[in-house]
Structure 1
C-alpha cells in the first residue's frame, strides 16, 4: 500500500521541492493526471488519504525546545535563547506541499460517486489534516496566509499577505467540527483518524488558542478566549461521555503508566484513542531508543515538579535544592521513575546497571525507551507502538479548560486529575486545599496566573507536566501560558555536593567521578583501584560546569553568558528571509 501511494503521489502531485513559490501551492499540469481519472469512488479517496498518514502523522517522544530538557545543544530553543535565530538563519515554511495535497483532494471530491457517509468520512479525514497543518502554523507564526483550495499558476492569491490569526483559527475550528460530525467512530484498529481523534485534536487546539488569547495581551484577542476554552471543554466532554475510553489500569500501578509507551501494540488499550504501529513485519520502526542518554537529559526543574509519594511538594522539603541524584527518587510520585532513568535501572534487564552521563545533566529520559532489548534493533529499528492521542490528555484538557474558565468543581477534579493520580496510587487532589495552600514555587514559575482558581490552575499545570512529560506538548504549553521566564532561566542538571566520586546506581559503590581537571584527581585518591578503574570520569569546563565551582547543580557551557527571552517576540518564529523576498507581501511580526 505504501508503494502504491508513493507512485500515485508522484503522479498526481509532482516531485518538485516545496517552497513558498508556485512549487508548493500548485504544480505544473504536465506533472499531474487529470482529476477526471481519479477521485471517482470512495476507494480512490481512501487510497489518496493514505498519503496523509505517511507524511503528516507524528507520534512525538521527547520535549525538545522546552524547559523539560536540561541540555540539547543545537535545538531550535537553544539557538533562540542564545540569539542564534534570525530570518536569515531559521528554517521551516517548506512544508506547504502537505496543505496542497489536502486541498487538491477537497477541490475534486465533488465528482466522487458512492455512499454519501463514506465520502463525507474521507472529506473529514482531509479536513482533519488541514486543521492539523494550520494548528502548527498558528503555533509557530500566529498570522499566516490561509489557502482553502489548491492554487494554479495563475491564481492571484498565491503571493498573498498573512491572514489574521482569528480568521485562520476559526477556519481550523470549522474543519475540526466537520471532521467531528462526519468521521466514523472507529476506522480499523485505532491507527486511523476517527471521530474521537478529531475531538482530541479539537480539545488540544482550542485549549491552546483559548489560553494563548487569555495570556498574550499583545494579540488583543482576550475577549474571544473563552469561546475556545468552552469548546475545548466541550470536545473533551464528548470523549469522556462516550464511555469508550478509560484510564488504563491493567498493570500494577506505575506499570500501567509504562505500558502506554513501551508496548508492542496498543489496539486493546482502553486509554489509547489513536496510535502508530511499528513492526518489523511492516518494515516500519522508530527511534525511541535515542531518548536515553543520547544528546539530552531531562531538567532538574521537571524532576522538582513531581510530588512526594504523600502528595506534598518536593520543593517544600528544607534544602530540596541540595538533594542529590539518589535522594531525588526517594518516596516520589511513581511516574518520576517511569520518566527518568532511576538508580538501579538496567537496559539489559539484568544486574548490569545503567549509569547516566553527568555531562548531559544526569537525569536521562526513560519514558518511551523500549525496555525489552529484543525490541531495540538500531536506527529506525525499534518496534514499540507509540500513542498519538490518549485519554489521559483528554482529562487534563478538560480540567484545565474548566479551571481557566473558573467553573471547575471538585467533581471535575475527581473525574480527571484524580483518575490519573489513582492509577499510580498517588493521593487525590483537593480543590479547596489547592486554592488555599498555593505552592510558592509554582506561583513564581507562572506569575501571571491570578483569580479565585489560581491554586487549581497551578496544580493542573503541575499534573499536566508530570503526566504528559516527554510527549511533545510542553513547548506549546509554555508558549501558550506566556511563561517565557522558564525558558530564560538556565536549565540545571542534578545536584553534585562536591567534586569526586558519585554513586549513581544506589549500590553504595561509586560509578562516576566528576573532576576539576584532567590533572586533578585528588578527590578520588582514597578510592581503591578495584573500584576506581571501573568509574567513568568527567571533567569540568568541557561542556558542563558546577554552579558553585566545585559543587552545585550541573550547568552547561552554552549558558555561561546567560540566556535571553525577548517578550513577546520569542513566542513566535520569523518567516525565512528568502520567503519574504519571494513574496514581498509577507511581513514579519512582533519585532522579527
Structure 2
C-alpha cells in the first residue's frame, strides 16, 4: 500500500519537528486544531496531555460541510452531473476514499499501541483507557467507511513498518472487518463517559458512550439490510445488534428530539442543550473563536440541489403521499409546493420569503446555480453573509443525531420481524412525525390507505435525513440503486414567470430536466461495490479488484 509506506517515511522525516510542534499546541482544548502530522515516537506518550493531543487528531477525520454525498443519489444534483450517480465513473489512479480511512486507522492503531506507555509514566489507567476507547471508535469509523465502499478490504490492526508483510496483505472478508468494528464499538461504549458526564464545557463534542452505541446501530442496520437484500451472510445477527444498540441509546435517558426541526441546523441547535445531537463536527462560534468555517455561498449556489424525486417524497399534512391525499392540489407557483406539506419540507428547501442572501428574501430559484429549481435550506443562515462573517458560518454539523437512532430502531425491528407493532412505532418514528405535524403511522393507517409499511418507514428516513448524506448508501443497501439511479433527474415544474428569464431544458410535461435518463446507468453486477484505486493494485499484487471493474 503506497500511501502507508509514504506515511511511515513521512512520519520518520518529520519526527523531531512534530514533537516540538505538538508540544506548542498541547494547551489547546479544541479537538479540530491538531495538525495532520501525528507524533508516532514512543517517547511522546508520557502524559494525559500527550494522549489528548494525539486523540484530537482523530476528530479531524469527521465529515465537514458542505454535504454533497446526496449528489451520488436521486436526491441531489449539483451544477454538473455526478459520475457515480450517472454510472460513468472509472477506477481512479488514487483516491482519498481509500487512503484517508487507512490514515485514520493508522493514527488510531498508534494510540491503542502507544498509550500503555502513559501508564508506566504515571497516568491513571482509567484515563488511558478512555483515550484508547476514543481511538477504537475512530478505527471502527475508518473501517466502516471502507467496507461500505469496497466490501472486503485489508484488515490492519497494528501500526506497520515499511517492510511489514501486511502492506501487501490480501483482502479480509467483510464479516471479519465488521466483527472488529462491533468489538471496537462495544469496548468503547463500555468505557466512554455519557454525554451528561462529559458536560457542556470543554469536553463537549468528544466521543461518548451513546455515540459508540449509535454508530454501532448504524453499522449493524447497514450490514443487516445489505445482507438481506443482496442475499448473503447472516442478516438476522446484524439486525438484532442494530435493534439492541439503538434501544440502548433510547433507554439511556441521554437524548431526545430537539423541539424545532429547522433550528436543528441553525445556531440554536449548537451545544449540549440540543440533546438530539449525539456527535457533531464542531466549527467554533465566531471569526475570532473558530475551529473551522463553512461557506454559505457554496451551499446555496449549487453544491447540492434537491430534486423533484426528493420533494415529492414529502407527505401531505394528513400523512398521505401526494398521489393519495385529497389535500394535494397541483401548485400554480413555486411557493404553493409547500402548502399543507410535512413541515420538514419547508425547513429543508427554500421557499418564497425565506431569508436567503444577506438577509434579503428568497424570490425564485437562480437556475444557473440551483439547477433543479430547488434550493437547499439546511445550515443556511443569511446573517452569516454579512460582516464580520462575510459568508463564513460556524453552525455545527450533526454527524450522528438521535433521530437517526429512532429510524434505525424502527427499520431494523421491521426487517428483523417482518412487521412492527404500533407500540414500537410510537417510541420511534411517530416522535419524528409529531415534530413534523403529521399524524401517527400505525398498522391500521397503512392498511386503510393501501400503503406499504416498509416504504413508509423508508420514506420517513429519506425526508428526516434529507441532504445529510444517507440516501446513496440507503439505496445501495436496499438494492434499489439499479432501479432508482438510471432514471432522469427532474427538478421543479417550470412555472410561467417563476424563474426570471432562465430557459432550462424541460420535459414534455414542463418539468426541469437536470439530466436525461439516457446519460445515466447503473451496472448491478459492478456498481454495488466501488473500484480499488489502480495504483494500490499495482503496489499490492494480493489486492484483487472488485468484480467487473
TM-score, scaled relative to structure 2: 0.86
The residue that corresponds to 1:50 in the other structure is: 56
SS in structure 1 at match of 2:148: helix
CA-based RMSD of the aligned residues comes to: 2.6
- Distance in 1, matches of 2:51 and 2:362, equals 51
Match of 1:274 among 275, 279, 284: 279
SS in structure 1 at match of 2:400: strand
Per-residue CA distance 1:297-355 (angstroms, 9 max, x = gap): 21111111111011111122599796553432121111101111112223258674332
- Distance in 2, matches of 1:134 and 1:554, equals 39
- Distance in 2, matches of 1:462 and 1:383, equals 30
Q: How much has 1:31 moved relative to structure 2?
A: 4.2
Match of 1:310 among 311, 318, 321: 318
Q: How much has 1:89 moved relative to structure 2?
A: 8.1
- Distance in 2, matches of 1:361 and 1:333, equals 20
Contact 2:229/2:478, CA 8 A, preserved across alignment: yes
Q: How much has 1:580 moved relative to structure 2?
A: 0.6
Which stretch of the first structure deviates more once superposed, 183-192 or 167-176?
A: 183-192
1:121-520 superposed matches below 5 A? 121-186=130-195, 187-189=198-200, 190-217=204-231, 220-221=232-233, 224-249=234-259, 256-263=260-267, 265-278=270-283, 279=285, 280-283=287-290, 284-316=292-324, 323=331, 325-347=334-356, 352-358=361-367, 360-373=371-384, 381-406=392-417, 408-435=420-447, 437-439=449-451, 455-484=452-481, 485-496=483-494, 501-503=496-498, 512=499
Q: How much has 1:566 moved relative to structure 2?
A: 0.6
Match of 1:539 among 496, 503, 506: 503
Distance 1:204 1:438, change over 3 A: farther
SS in structure 1 at match of 2:392: coil
Q: How much has 1:380 moved relative to structure 2?
A: 7.4
Contact 1:341/1:364, CA 8 A, preserved across alignment: yes
The residue that corresponds to 2:20 in the other structure is: none
Unaligned 5+ segments in structure 2 are: 17-39
The residue that corresponds to 2:73 in the other structure is: 66
Contact 1:307/1:333, CA 8 A, preserved across alignment: yes
Which stretch of the first structure deviates more once superposed, 383-392 or 473-482?
A: 383-392
- Distance in 2, matches of 1:415 and 1:376, equals 44
Distance 1:380 1:327, change over 3 A: closer
The residue that corresponds to 1:32 in the other structure is: 15
TM-score, scaled relative to structure 1: 0.80
Mapped pair 1:576 → 2:533:
yes
Distance 1:258 1:318, change over 3 A: closer
Contact 2:359/2:383, CA 8 A, preserved across alignment: no
- Distance in 1, matches of 2:93 and 2:45, equals 41
Contact 1:26/1:151, CA 8 A, preserved across alignment: no
The residue that corresponds to 1:101 in the other structure is: 107
Q: How much has 1:456 moved relative to structure 2?
A: 1.9
Contact 2:487/2:517, CA 8 A, preserved across alignment: no
- Distance in 2, matches of 1:38 and 1:216, equals 47
Contact 1:91/1:576, CA 8 A, preserved across alignment: no
SS in structure 2 at match of 1:242: coil
Contact 1:25/1:158, CA 8 A, preserved across alignment: no
Aligned residues: 507
Mapped pair 1:120 → 2:124:
no
Q: How much has 1:459 moved relative to structure 2?
A: 0.8
- Distance in 2, matches of 1:319 and 1:309, equals 8
Distance 1:109 1:55, change over 3 A: same
Q: How much has 1:147 moved relative to structure 2?
A: 0.2
- Distance in 2, matches of 1:473 and 1:232, equals 17
- Distance in 2, matches of 1:374 and 1:362, equals 22
Q: How much has 1:64 moved relative to structure 2?
A: 2.7
